[in-house]
Amino acid sequence: MYKITLLVLFTGLLWPCEAQENNTFLSDFNDNPTWTESYNGVWKSVVNQPQEVNLLNTSGSSPREEDLAKIEGSKFPLEKTEIKAFSKNGKTYIRLPLEDGERIFGLGLNFKTVEQRGRIMRLHMDHYGGKDNGRTHAPTPFFVSTSGYGLLINSAKYIDVYMGTGVTKDSKSPATSRDRNTDKKWTAQPKSDNIEIIIPDDGVELILFAGKNIQETVQRFNLYCGGGFIPPKWGLGFWQRTPTLYGEKEVQEEVDSFVKNNFPIDVVGLEPGWHSKSYPCTFEWDKTRFPNPKPFVESMAKQGIHLNSWINPYVSPSSSIYEKIKPFTATHTVWTGIVPDFLVPEAHKIMTDQFEKNVVSLGISGLKIDEVDGFDRWLWPDYAQFPSGLDGETMRSIYGTLTQKWSADMYRKQNTRTYGLVRAGNVGSVSLPYVIYNDYYKHEDFITALINSSFAGVLWTPEVRSSGSSEDWIRRMQSVCFSPMAMINAWADGTKPWSYPEVYEYCQDVAFLRMQLLPYIYTAFSEYYFKGIPPFRAMAMEEGFTNIPEIIEQGDLNSTDNPYVAALKKEIKNQYMMGESMLVAPMFAGQKTRTVVLPKGKWYDFYTGELIGNGGIITASHGLDKIPLYVKDGAIIPMMKQIRNTSEWGNDTTLEVRVYGNQPNEFVLYDDDGKSYDYEEGSYTQKVLKTTVQKGKLKGSVSKITERETWSYGIINWNFMTK
Ligand code: GAL
């Protein structure tokens, strides 16, 4: 045996190989994809023969043509001959150029990094496991470059990305070869001048977006993928998810305790215990915990409370639909539950009927769709087969989107908006009203994920569960109140906002501040819908952070006085923008101070209206009572009174419009009925809040630009914060 092995090895070594001149990897890269402009600044290319199913065509979304047309056109942002592609042996290879100094953002919902140059990733749907290796809840195959473009790889396969790591021998701008023995500048990762992408398929559809800056590129990407959405108003209020085994009585007590403790609440989340069995689920009420579901839901509604129900879509053998749906499910099970194939009309209908009967018709406002991401050892394997003909890998990449779409459609059918939670999303779900969450619990990393969600076409909540200290608790509560969903997820521990009495007052302050800011936040979501601008977004989308020529204009790049040097050299992964003009800089347990990098221009303290800096880096030293918040010069921030429930945000709500700095400005305030999809048909109101200089002082005025359809506001009080 030993001898035979040696012989094989030996013969193998000597086997003569003829060099194949025309068959090398590098010469295959001579093909240039053909690009066709589909919309202003958006080009598409189909390389060879991709599989029919992709991330976008399974999602039911289509490009927002009219809104894309409103963004000024642009020329093709790259040298076409520099983009190469070819397919061979079931794989498709793409190569793009990478300039010195070019910066790359995106590649999914990462938790530790914002800049992606120099990384190797396999984009793979999964529960985030602590490393930015491509396995995450939204492994979106989209990146945006400071070279004025973004690329979407519309494939539902696991995609390998070498983001500036591969160094080829035919490089146009080769790395300097150095002697490691003597040269201190030797590096294990020499410069790469390319981006290489490998798709395990016979072809791929590519979409390339131009943009005069990062934000514009992202806008085009979002609008192309269906555009953002506007949540129902109640969805932006405060959420409390209750412990798993809570029943009607405990949920009512929970709501009463929020009233008694004077804390905002709009939504209560029911966790697995509402099902008669869960993991896998029956999607049928447990009669011991919920003897009268319909009257219970109605009584909650009378108190202004919307209910959200947890599910995973895996059907329990005890469910009444089990036998009926079985032929339309996957070869493999998840926790013994059968896995519906939502692409097969029969499975889609059986699930719809079950949910319309037991959930939607009762008045439950939406779902929390759990466990549709991973882990490998729980989910179906990649070789599983689905009745629609899809393999496990493709289905895993789109399952989150399919379940979002299936559930959102039940609400759309009755012209009611929903807002829910999900653990998996992708480019197909940009327009679907869901927020991603997970079980990972690092506060700092939650903020980095919030930043990255703005490049990934998804929303993210840094949900709050428990805490090791009251300091950690209040810092987390402050962050979550400045996110798409302000939520405590107490499913395991029953934590309440007042569980840490020392800081309860500060919890109340920040929760009420969120409620006051809802007119501003709601308007930010309207910009997501109309223009594709993420309501919570990375600093890289602000001018002055990525635009290198402008940064150089600020002064010498080598000077320590130039604040943007830091922004360029270090990733900004702990501060972000909310809406048009507010910068949020969360603080974390253990911090007494933190630095904040201000984009160029004057910035003001949100709480006091004081000038805080003109570009540059500042130090925030807010005590536990406040989260650092800054606003741009000229910012106009519409706010309302402190409310506990969004049902109080109704007719003739008095507005307090805060104005910061001295720049005249305009803010287009958005409003609609807050609950139906009529806004998509033009049923909404926008009014311009405008400041002008009169006799050396700023004055405010309001003018309407659309007919009054719905308008919640009455008297407007202007508050000029900067004295
Ligand atoms: C987890 C989920 C939690 C909670 C729990 C209930 O998978 O991430 O938020 O819902 O299930 O069992």
In a domain, 307, yes or no: yes
Same domain? 258 vs 165: no
> How far, in Å, is the centroid of ligand 1 from the Cα of 496?
17
Encode pLDDT of 102-132 as tens digits.
999 999 999 999 999 999 999 999 999 999 9
Residue with tokens 């689905």: 386
Atom 5 (ligand 1) nearest CA? 491
Q: Which residues line ligand 1 (CB under 6 A)?
A: 244, 271-272, 310, 370-371, 439, 489, 491
Residue 180 lies in a domain: no
Domain end marker among 202, 224, 246: 224
> Is residue 507 one of the residues assigned to a domain?
yes
Percent of residues, the chain, with pLDDT higher than 70: 92
Residue 360 gets which letter from DSSP?
I
Judge whether 18 lies within some domain.
no
Is residue 302 within 8 A of residue 314, CB to CB? The reply is no
Q: Which residue has the higher pLDDT, 566 or 77?
A: 77
Give a yes or no: residue 22 inside a domain: no
CATH number, position 202: 2.60.40.1760
Whether 616 and 644 map to the same domain: the answer is no
What's residue 195's pLDDT?
97
User: Around Cβ 188, how many Cβ atoms within 10 Å?
Assistant: 5
Torsion angle of C-alpha atoms 344, 345, 349, 352, degrees rounded to 10: 60
The string of pLDDT tens digits covering residues 155-183 is: 999 999 999 999 988 888 888 999 999 99
d(CA 138, CA 109): 5
DSSP helix/strand/coil, 478: helix
Instruction: Give Cα separations from 247 to 278, 290, 318, 513, 536 (angstroms).
Output: 15, 6, 20, 31, 35
Residue 554: pLDDT over 60: no
Nearest 5°: the CA angle 656, 662, 664 is 80
Please tell me whether residues 364 and 419 are part of one structural domain.
Answer: yes
Q: Cα(159)–Cα(23) distance, rounded to whole angstroms?
A: 24
Q: How much is the pLDDT for 29?
A: 74
Give tens-digit pLDDT for 592-621.
Answer: 999 898 888 899 999 999 999 888 788 999
Looking at 1-5, 306-310, 392-396, 433-437, which range is the least confident one?
1-5
Q: What token pair was written down for 91?
A: 């794989």
pLDDT higher than 80, residue 5: no
Residue-averaged pLDDT of the chain? 93
Give the model's pLDDT for residue 568.
55
Same structural domain for residues 516 and 380? yes
Q: What is the pLDDT of residues 29-44, one digit of tens each?
A: 778 899 999 999 999 9
**The domain containing residue 79 runs over which residues?**
31-172+189-224
> What's the total number of domains in the chain?
4
Decide which of 531, 562, 596 is a domain's last residue. 531
Tell me, in angstroms, the distance from the centre of ligand 1 to residue 72's CA. Answer: 44
First to last CA, the chain: 90
Q: Which of 370, 438, 460 to mutate to test the pocket of ligand 1 (most atoms within 8 A of CB)?
A: 370
**CATH number for the domain harbouring residue 625:** 2.60.40.1180
pLDDT the model gives residue 4: 45
The residue assigned the tokens 């079950």 is: 354
- Torsions phi, psi for 580 (to 5 deg): -60, -40
Inter-CA distances, 375 with 167, 370, 378, 691, Å? 33, 12, 5, 53
Say whether both 415 and 545 belong to one domain: no
| 66 closest CA partner among 720, 707, 680 | 680
Residue 19 lies in a domain: no
Q: What is the pLDDT of residue 704?
A: 74
186: left (phi over 0), alpha (psi -120 to 50) or beta: beta
Pairing of strands 91-97, 194-199: antiparallel
Ligand 1 mean position, distance from CA 436 (Å): 12
Residue nearest to atom 4 of ligand 1 (CA): 491
Query: pLDDT confidence of 710, banded at 50, 70, 90?
Result: confident
pLDDT for 549 equals 42
Residue 15: which pLDDT band, with cuts at 50, 70 and 90?
low
Residues 445 and 525 in one domain: yes
**Beta-carbon count within 10 A of 262 CB:** 12
In a domain, 304, yes or no: yes
Is residue 707 scored above 70 in pLDDT? Answer: no
Q: Are residues 167 and 311 in the same domain?
A: no
Task: Say if residue 551's pLDDT is above 60.
Answer: no
For residues 391 and 369, membership in a common domain is answered with yes
486 HSE (CA, 13 A, CB side): 28
User: What type of residue sits at position 640?
Assistant: M
Q: Which residues of 455-534 form beta strands (DSSP E)?
A: 459-460, 486-489
Residue 182 belongs to a domain: no
pLDDT of residue 548: 43
Convert the pLDDT of each residue in 318-375 to its tens digit: 999 999 999 999 999 999 999 999 999 999 999 999 999 999 999 999 999 999 999 9
Tell me the DSSP string of 161-173. Answer: EEES----TT-SS
| Cα 258 to ligand 1 centroid, rounded to whole Å | 23
Q: Which atom belonging to ligand 1 lies closest to the Cα atom of 279?
A: 12
Model pLDDT, residue 614: 85
Nearest residue by C-alpha to atom 10 in ligand 1: 271
Residues 259 and 241 in one domain: yes
Alpha helices in 356-442 (DSSP H): 392-413
Please state the length of the chain.
723
**Per-residue pLDDT for 417 more than 80?**
yes
Do 589 and 643 share a domain, yes or no?
A: no
- The tens digit of pLDDT for each residue in 303-328 reads 999 999 999 999 999 999 999 999 99
CA angle 701, 702, 705 (to 5 degrees): 145
Going 570 to 525 to 234 to 458, the CA torsion angle's sign is negative
Q: How far is the CA of 119 from the centre of ligand 1 (A)?
A: 31
Residues 213 and 284 in one domain: no
Residues 613 and 500 in one domain: no
